Structure 1
Amino acid sequence: MAPKGKAGTKGKKQIFEENRETLRFYLRIILGASAVYAAVNLVVFYPAASAWTWLAFAFSSAVYGASYRSMSSMARPAFADDGSLADGGIDLNMEQGWQSECPHPHEPRHLKDVILLTAMVQVLSCFSLYVWYFWLLAPGRALYLLWVNILGPWFTAESSAPGQEPNEKKQRRTGTPPE
């Protein structure tokens, strides 16, 4: 049974250590997927490697680099003048709180998803380059989040003229008291 009350908070040092482990884990995924792709497509099947193979490798490297760099900059700790840990950085493993409420595109969970999607597509593309079409899921998800969190509410928001006062007859009909 889950404990009741307020969830326990993590200390700066615990966040720092967990962020370091998380970054290490995703670096291993990046290096492993890239090594498999390079070994299969650029070494074993080198004669059959086309420009698309090299382009896909460059694309995945750019995606990995941008995502990992963003995650590491979010998790960058701050140290005091005496060398003690002043801030552990943003918690990359946060499951509740601002991550569940804020659809910001640079959230760690979205960056982790991009790294995992790219790694899966990269390894599976050793069998067929058509697997790269699955990477279109990332911009599709971004467009979905953009619509649900920003554009949809903006388009469907009721607009009221700022200078209009509520009509007294309408208020009596609906039963709302005048202000």
Structure 2
Amino acid sequence: MAPQKGKQGTKGQKQILDENIATLNFYRNMVFIANGIYLIVMCVISDSFSWQTIVSNQSLCLFIFVKVMGLFSAAAYISSYQFMAYMAKPTYNDSGQILDSGVDLNMEGGIAEHVKDLIILTTGCQLLSLFSNYFWFLWLLVSVF
């Protein structure tokens, strides 16, 4: 493929705003679907919610571990999404016109890429943990990003 000649085109404020809204909606839906699947499977299929399973010490430790990791994933989801929403918050003038569309969440090499990677990794860890609790250790990959 031949290299492009000239300056790369820039995005307009309206296009950045529309893409930011679409990006936020996509990651919000990803979080809700992942949490929905996780909660349904854990409540319906898993027996870790029954008191007979929690009686032994090993099961109690596993029960606590699963609950702590679930709370940690919820905190990661909420903080990541709120950070992206804060970065992408547009500013308007008195007549309702866009002054600033906020940070472009789809910009390559930006901090939003790392935040989106954290949401994707958290979703993967959460859903894969339905098969084995060892998949929670994939969160250690966050330091690689």
TM-score by length of 1: 0.69
Match of 1:56 in 2: 69
Match of 2:113 in 1: 109
Q: Deviation of residue 37 (structure 1)?
A: 1.0
* Count of residues paired in the alignment: 132
Match of 1:129 in 2: 133
Match of 2:5 in 1: 4
The percent of aligned pairs where both chains have the same amino acid is: 42
Matched, 1:94 2:107: yes
Unaligned runs of 5+ in 1: 101-106, 143-179
Match of 2:81 in 1: 68
Q: Deviations over 1:71-98 (max 9, x none)?
A: 0100000000111111111000012xxx
1:65–1:75: structure 2 CA closer, same or farther, 3 Å change rule? same
Q: Deviation of residue 57 (structure 1)?
A: 1.2
- Larger Cα Rg: Structure 1 or Structure 2? 1
2: distance between equivalents of 1:118 and 1:93?
19
Secondary structure in structure 2 of the residue aligned to 1:86? strand
1: distance between equivalents of 2:43 and 2:80?
24
Secondary structure in structure 1 of the residue aligned to 2:79? helix
1: distance between equivalents of 2:118 and 2:43?
23
Unaligned runs of 5+ in 2: 55-62
Contact 1:78 1:85 survives alignment (8 Å) = yes
Q: Which has the higher contact order (CA 8 A, sep 6+)?
A: 2
Q: Deviation of residue 44 (structure 1)?
A: 2.3
2: distance between equivalents of 1:54 and 1:76?
33
RMSD of the TM alignment (CA)? 1.6
Secondary structure in structure 2 of the residue aligned to 1:10? coil
Q: Deviation of residue 58 (structure 1)?
A: 0.7
Secondary structure in structure 2 of the residue aligned to 1:76? coil
Q: Deviation of residue 55 (structure 1)?
A: 1.3
Secondary structure in structure 1 of the residue aligned to 2:102? coil
Match of 2:144 in 1: 141
Match of 2:20 in 1: 19
2: distance between equivalents of 1:54 and 1:91?
35
Contact 1:41 1:53 survives alignment (8 Å) = no
TM-score by length of 2: 0.85
